[in-house]
Amino acid sequence: MEGFFEARSVAVVGVSANPGNLAQAIVYNLLQFWFQGLVYLVGPHGGSFAGHKIYPRVRELPEPVDLAAILVPASAVPEVLRDCGEKGIKRAVLMSGGFRELGDERRALEEEVVGILGAYGIRMIGPNCLGIMNRRSGLAVPFMTFQATMPVGGVAVVSQSGGVAAMMVNCLEAENLGFSKFASIGNKLDVNEVDLLEYLVRDEETRIVFCYLEGIADGRRFMELASGSSKPVVLHKSNRGRAGSVIARSHSASLSADDRVLDAALRQSGVLRVFDQREAMTAIKGLVLPPMRGNRLAVVSRSGGHAVMAADAADDLGFELPPFPESLLRTVQERSRARVIRFHNPLDLGDLFDMPLYHAVADETLARDDIDGLLFIHNYQGVFEQEASRQVIAGLGSLIEKHRKPLAVCVFTTKPELDRTREKSHFPIFTDPREALLALAGNREHHRERPAPFSHVRPPDVFPDRVKTLLDGLPEGPIGAGVLGEILSAYGLFPVPWRQADSMEDALAAARDLGYPVVLKTARPEVIHKSEVRGVRLNLADEPSVREAYEDLRRRLGPRVLVQETAAPGVEWFLGGRQDPNFGPVLVTGLGGIYVEVFRETALRVGPVSSAQADRMLDECKASAILGGIRGRDPLDRRALVDMAVRASWLLHDFPEIRELDLNPVGVFPDGCRALDWRAVKGPVP
């Protein structure tokens, strides 16, 4: 990726001297941003523009260049790329539209482009993109004009949408934050967001990476890069369709819609997800501040009403509000005018018109060991306080540097004054207490310690070779309960004792062997919800009841049944998973039985998971309180359930051909747990 952003020579392909030519904007940007490298112009009609000769073809350039910025009709792209390859140009930004965004009939053109890239070893960003920028070097090749007033900053912008990317850099400029790198990636025919993220987390000029994506090319690699980076990654992922849940065949599929999987994946890897542009800017403003290492917050406000708003938001977002020291409160009380305000945290300074004391209060508060961050709210209107207020706000910046703790400054004033404050401040300015605390909450979440996104410790006593032998002989589709029971047992996911029976005699023999009472259920693999078709018969206490139950199931659902030992009393839990096209194995767990899709109270992780991760999954389910024992009942074996979750995640990881897996219910008992019903679907390996 350095070949794109550190290019020292650029060929702008598609330029003409005609008014309205879009490629002229690329040349304009390079001049506006004072690009110090060489610039060549290429266009079929020749001539000149902006004092530069226009060469008719890339192959006629006097020397190779580092980067080709291409904006020509889609039909001309293959020829231009071949010329680039013949000239030895290894990096291209293809801004031209007219590819698969117009329909599948354009895929042939894309395939031709990919073939050319491979043949000549060219890496390409695009097509259908706005371009790239390196703010420090002045490399700026978008075909939309930008102004060089944008400050150099630490935020890198990666976006599938050129419009969103442009709006983002404008928002950063409005907040006086600036950007480091800019990449509009369009159709992602070659370079994608994962390639860029791998570069940006190493880039010394980038402190925060913002991504706007409509799809993720390699979800697991994205997770690994984000998790391993000390730099925050903020993601706005749109296109949140639920098409996958519409065709779901199992509980696991219906409970793990694509967007829920994305949420889980981002939490695991420490990515801060936002849902609109305002949230994105709030998150970035919070992450620009020093790390917030805990929950302990102080609020200092000149407005009582805003102090109350801040207290409400702090409570909602899980902040603690430690009391202020008595010595500081006495000082504030002594200098107040009417002495009618009761001072605590939040600290209302509305009765205090001593601007230097505001600074001293903030300084002393940030110095405290029991405070992790400060929200400072200041409002002013009149001309008499204007200069003093400006000095107070400006002085807060020095406190951020001095204490290396986050200080969120919230200002209420006139629009011209607010604009001036933002322009003069080298730290974020907020205009709402809740917005400021959301920013601090995002900062806090990023700096919390988090484990690696996936487990690398395989559980003991698993036998992949045995499972492979069993799976290799199966057709695609639902896996028979008998074979699946063997597969589960090979990974330590032991079902309740069971036998498969294909006749009345087999069923009676199995019942005698297992011991009464027993359970009979249909073994037809395509039956997903057995209770809905009356495919389960419980508590069969003797031979006549088994005969009657078997005959009923045989007549309605076929002769093959499972005969199971009746489980001891316990709690019915759900454990399952599926293969996600972007992130791989996804584990799902929650309250089980017939209510699993009624309450839909489940937790998700991208697997394989560790015991600690599985344990946290249980904590996310309110029903897990039952496992601890309630109303005098013995606690249930939570550790065994955690172990079962870990093993299920590894089974899905090791065998991606197991497309869906349901263990529902899993009986959780005081001394272990067993799968009471199980089903799975085999499919093609992605």
Q: Provide DSSP, 284-322.
A: HHHHHSPP--SSBEEEEES-HHHHHHHHHHHHHTT-B-P
The pLDDT assigned to 242 comes to 53
Multiple choice CATH, 452-493+568-686, 1.10.10.10, 3.40.50.1000, 3.30.470.20, 3.40.630.30: 3.30.470.20
The pLDDT assigned to 256 comes to 40
Name the nearest CA neighbour of 669 among 566, 534, 582: 566
**Sorting pLDDT into bands at 50, 70 and 90, what band is 623?**
confident
d(CA 467, CA 455): 21
Task: Give the CATH fold of the 497-566 domain.
Answer: Dna Ligase; domain 1 (3.30.1490)
The pLDDT assigned to 59 comes to 94
The pLDDT assigned to 528 comes to 75
The pLDDT assigned to 627 comes to 85
Q: Does residue 236 or residue 600 have the better pLDDT?
A: 236
Residue 249 has pLDDT above 60, yes or no: no
Name the nearest CA neighbour of 265 among 304, 295, 221: 221
Give SS3 for 114: helix
Residue 192 has pLDDT above 80, yes or no: yes
Name the nearest CA neighbour of 405 among 290, 321, 299, 300: 290
Contact 500, 560 (CB under 8 A): yes
The pLDDT assigned to 341 comes to 56
The pLDDT assigned to 598 comes to 53
**Residues 375-418: tens digit of each pLDDT:** 999 999 867 789 999 999 999 999 999 999 999 999 999 999 99
The pLDDT assigned to 11 comes to 97
| CATH class of domain segment(s) 2-239 | alpha beta
Residue 297 has pLDDT above 90, yes or no: yes
Q: What percent of the chain has pLDDT over 70?
A: 95
The pLDDT assigned to 253 comes to 43
d(CA 88, CA 82): 10
Q: What is the mean pLDDT of residues 262-276?
A: 94
Residues of the chain with CATH 3.40.50.261: 290-447
How does strand 373-379 pair with strand 347-348? unpaired
The pLDDT assigned to 100 comes to 81
Contact 421, 393 (CB under 8 A): yes
Residues of the chain with CATH 3.30.470.20: 452-493+568-686
The pLDDT assigned to 530 comes to 81
Joined tokens for residue 622: 């309110």
The pLDDT assigned to 595 comes to 55
Q: What percent of the chain has pLDDT over 90?
A: 76
**Sorting pLDDT into bands at 50, 70 and 90, what band is 600?**
low
Instruction: Provide the mean pLDDT of the chain.
Output: 91
**Sorting pLDDT into bands at 50, 70 and 90, what band is 252?**
very low
d(CA 663, CA 676): 7
Specify the residue for token string 């946290």: 616
From its phi and psi, is residue 606 left (phi > 0), alpha (psi between -120 and 50) or beta?
beta
The pLDDT assigned to 599 comes to 54
**Residues 6-64: tens digit of each pLDDT:** 999 999 999 999 988 999 999 999 999 999 999 999 999 999 999 899 999 999 999 99
**Sorting pLDDT into bands at 50, 70 and 90, what band is 104?**
confident
Name the nearest CA neighbour of 24 among 32, 15, 33: 15
Alpha-helical runs (H) found in 121-218: 162-174, 193-200
Residues of the chain with CATH 3.30.1490.20: 497-566
Q: What is the mean pLDDT of residues 592-617?
A: 81
Enter the CATH code of domain 290-447: 3.40.50.261
Residues of the chain with CATH 3.40.50.720: 2-239
Specify the residue for token string 């390639």: 195
Contact 27, 15 (CB under 8 A): yes
358 CB neighbour count, 10 Å cutoff: 23
Most confident of 155-164, 345-354, 616-625: 155-164
